[in-house]
Structure 1
Amino acid sequence: MKILVINPGSTSTKIGVFEDKSPIIEETIRHDKTELSKFNTVIEQLDYRKFAILDLLEQKGVSLNELDAVIGRGGIVKPIEAGTYIVNEALINDLKVYSKEQEHPSTLGGLIAYEIANAIGKPAFIADPVCVDEFEEIARISGLKEIRRKSLLHALNVRASMYKYAESEGKNVNDLNLIVAHLGGGITVAAIKKGRIVDVNNANEGGPFSPERTGSLPSIDVVNMSYSGKYTRSDLLRLFTKEGGVYSYLGTNNIKEVIERVKNGDKVAKEVFDAMCYQIAKEIGGMATVLKGDVEAIIITGGIAYNEEVIQEITKRVSFIAKVVSYPGEFEMEALAFAALRVLKREEDAKIYT
């Protein structure tokens, strides 16, 4: 089975051609910022990016007729179950509608996949977008009736880690209870119950602080800041999601740099580093209670997981719960390819977006 994978970023588009689970081609198309600035919206970039992909495939000698399917990274739509979805008219419409409210380049993944696949009569898919929502109802209650907890997470990498672990153990994902901590610019810790993500912190709104996000904050202090007259709404959003966390204390969001500062005797850097690991461990502990202590493994993934010092510090605090497994980095391209492959091989059914 030959699968084309499309993963649009803000100034680049990653593409891959996979033969079953083996990558034949993996390339990153860099888009000129001047060219992108000509478009008023992300949606308007569709043809520009699509033709860049088609040109590259032609240069690499890949015929579209060789493909069995095309899969794109899923954009923001309404909350949906995890899984692989056929790109249909309802999904196309919602990708466009939701993009007006919250623009993100991943919106183009499904749209470009559909246009390329439709031209050759093959299926187009998306898989595990950030809006995956499998919360149990109890997890939605926030403590204030006007606010409900939302499921927003790096579902693609969280579920890729779940599948990677299941394969390594020779087990079915639907039999597993896991905790997956995705450590990147934002940090999400997910409780997985029999293959479903039943609870997770939204990295933009709560949970542990990260290299650049504040995570959970004392609500009264946030109210006081909001009405102090010192900050606009956009100022606070920037502070909480781009200039918070480690950056707020140390002026950098580079964890490697922080670790070097710790090794060189920087006491403030050590305090902040230890506190970040402490908060991650505390969130993992909380998710263990969601699963009533029935946890087979704790998986740590994402870019920060390349730093062994982080793994060690977290493991000290959580190894009593379950074994700790590290899968450093992100697996977006292979996760998308494998999601399409499971459907093509009829190991899973494709889901229908309605």
Structure 2
Amino acid sequence: MYRILVINPGSSSTKIAVFEDERKVCEDRIYHDLGKLKNFKRVMDQEPLRRNAIERFLENNNYRIEDFDAIAARGGILEPVPGGTYVVDDHMLDYLLNHSPVDHVSNLAAVIGYRLGRPHGIPCFVVDPVSVDEMCDEARFSGIPEIERKSYSHALNIKAVARKVAEEMGRSFEEVNMVVAHLGSGISVSALKNGRMIDVNNANDEGPFSVERTGELPVGDVVKTAYSGTYSAEDLKREFTRSGGLISYLGTGDLKKAMNMMESSDKARLIVEAMAYQIAKEIGGMCAVLGKKPDAIVITGGMAQERRFVDMIVDCVGRFGKVKVIPGDMEMEALALGVLRVLRGEEEARYFQRVMR
């Protein structure tokens, strides 16, 4: 039996779980004081606060770090890497601390896990980080040589639900062809061919608008806004990624509230239907690049819990293939299972420095 500690920090909370093999033994979500978090200049400066919270969780549940065989941490913004389970070492730590292109909360997990485990000889791993890049060559072209499309997505949950669906179909993950749409605060829609994410929209910059992100925007209008003098570059980016989508149209980032607003507001109905329309359009495009009918179209993420909204999407894409809905996410389980495959010798661990470009 292998015991694994799972660490998954979010913007205002940290999710922690203990797994014994595939079984989740205990779990908690620790919410952090937003006032305290705002006092940190960089997200990485929150590391001691979050590590202390994890240590309290372990103490309250009568665990010591020495009780674990491994630590599974959410993967951060690394250089582009293939999917898999990666050993957290000094090289990865240095990159996350000093070179990551985005000051993102996901960068914290590996640093926390490494610093918890190293004094006791407990290995730390990350699984399918945000920067998983398996895109085919054709998918990288943006239209001008100076800009290449980048693969930043909800790879962890996308691959986890694809594995689950493949298993339910009685088939190997490496032989199935699927389109997976992760619908969260950001939206990632990916085409998986033989288990590889051959194309995916960048969840920050591309694809459908979501509850708080604009998705793709008309280039001409973006340039006009950028040079209007109204916004700084930082403010404009925040406007596109934190204050766009449903928030900008309806004043709420809660899909359930937006769905309720539809009952008395034609405007709200049109906007929610427009978001479903754009998601369906992205799914249709990913079906096209597979070159064949997908074995399944999978809809997952937090927004997938709103069945009425999912039905709007299914009405558009159901003709392309069988649709499977897996509400919420499997991130904690996916992290544990990725590490478990390595511990059992079913999968070889990867090293970040060996795949850097």
TM-score range, shorter chain: over 0.9
1:295 has 2:294 as partner: yes
Other structure's SS at 2:51 match: helix
Q: Cα distance, 1:229 vs. partner? A: 3.7
Structure 1 partner of 2:215: 215
Other structure's SS at 1:247 match: helix
CA offset digits 1:114-167 (Å, max 9, x no partner): 222222223210111111111111110011111110101111111111122122
The question of whether the paired residues in 2 share the 8 Å contact of 1:2 and 1:19 is answered with yes
CA offset digits 1:87-114 (Å, max 9, x no partner): 1221111111235x42222222112212
CA spacing shift, 1:34–1:221, aligned 2, 3 Å: closer
* Runs of 5+ consecutive residues of structure 2 not aligned to the other structure: none
CA spacing shift, 1:275–1:45, aligned 2, 3 Å: closer
The question of whether the paired residues in 2 share the 8 Å contact of 1:293 and 1:321 is answered with no
1:164 has 2:173 as partner: no
Q: Distance in 1 between matches of 2:150 and 2:50?
A: 31
Structure 1 partner of 2:351: 352
Q: Distance in 2 between matches of 1:152 and 1:233?
A: 20
Structure 2 partner of 1:20: 21
Structure 1 partner of 2:266: 267
TM score, norm. by length of structure 1: 0.94
CA offset digits 1:314-354 (Å, max 9, x no partner): 11111111111101112221111111111111221111111
CA spacing shift, 1:177–1:86, aligned 2, 3 Å: same
Instruction: Tell me whether 248-257 or 228-237 shows the greater mean CA deviation.
Output: 228-237
1:56 has 2:57 as partner: yes
CA spacing shift, 1:247–1:164, aligned 2, 3 Å: same
Q: Distance in 2 between matches of 1:239 and 1:40?
A: 19
TM score, norm. by length of structure 2: 0.93
Q: Cα distance, 1:282 vs. partner? A: 0.7
Structure 1 partner of 2:48: 47
Structure 1 partner of 2:109: 109
Structure 2 partner of 1:178: 178
Q: Distance in 2 between matches of 1:225 and 1:196?
A: 37
Instruction: Tell me whether 4-13 or 176-185 shows the greater mean CA deviation.
Output: 4-13
The question of whether the paired residues in 2 share the 8 Å contact of 1:82 and 1:132 is answered with yes
Structure 2 partner of 1:328: 327
Q: Distance in 1 between matches of 2:113 and 2:74?
A: 9
Q: Cα distance, 1:249 vs. partner? A: 2.1
CA spacing shift, 1:96–1:310, aligned 2, 3 Å: same
CA spacing shift, 1:258–1:33, aligned 2, 3 Å: closer
Aligned residue identity for 1:144? I
Other structure's SS at 1:82 match: coil
CA offset digits 1:59-107 (Å, max 9, x no partner): 21123333111111111111111111011221111111235x4222222
* Percent identity (aligned): 47
The question of whether the paired residues in 2 share the 8 Å contact of 1:76 and 1:98 is answered with no
Q: Cα distance, 1:37 vs. partner? A: 5.6
The question of whether the paired residues in 2 share the 8 Å contact of 1:17 and 1:23 is answered with yes
Q: Distance in 2 between matches of 1:36 and 1:261?
A: 32
Q: Distance in 2 between matches of 1:238 and 1:87?
A: 30
Q: Cα distance, 1:38 vs. partner? A: 5.9
Aligned residue identity for 2:283? I
Q: Distance in 2 between matches of 1:7 and 1:239?
A: 26
Map 1:1-354; keep pairs closer than 5 Å: 1-33=2-34, 35-36=36-37, 39-99=40-100, 101-264=101-264, 266-354=265-353
CA spacing shift, 1:155–1:225, aligned 2, 3 Å: same
Q: Cα distance, 1:297 vs. partner? A: 0.5
Give the RMSD, CA atoms, in angstroms: 1.8
Other structure's SS at 1:147 match: coil
Q: Distance in 2 between matches of 1:283 and 1:107?
A: 28
Q: Distance in 1 between matches of 2:344 and 2:301?
A: 28
CA spacing shift, 1:42–1:215, aligned 2, 3 Å: closer
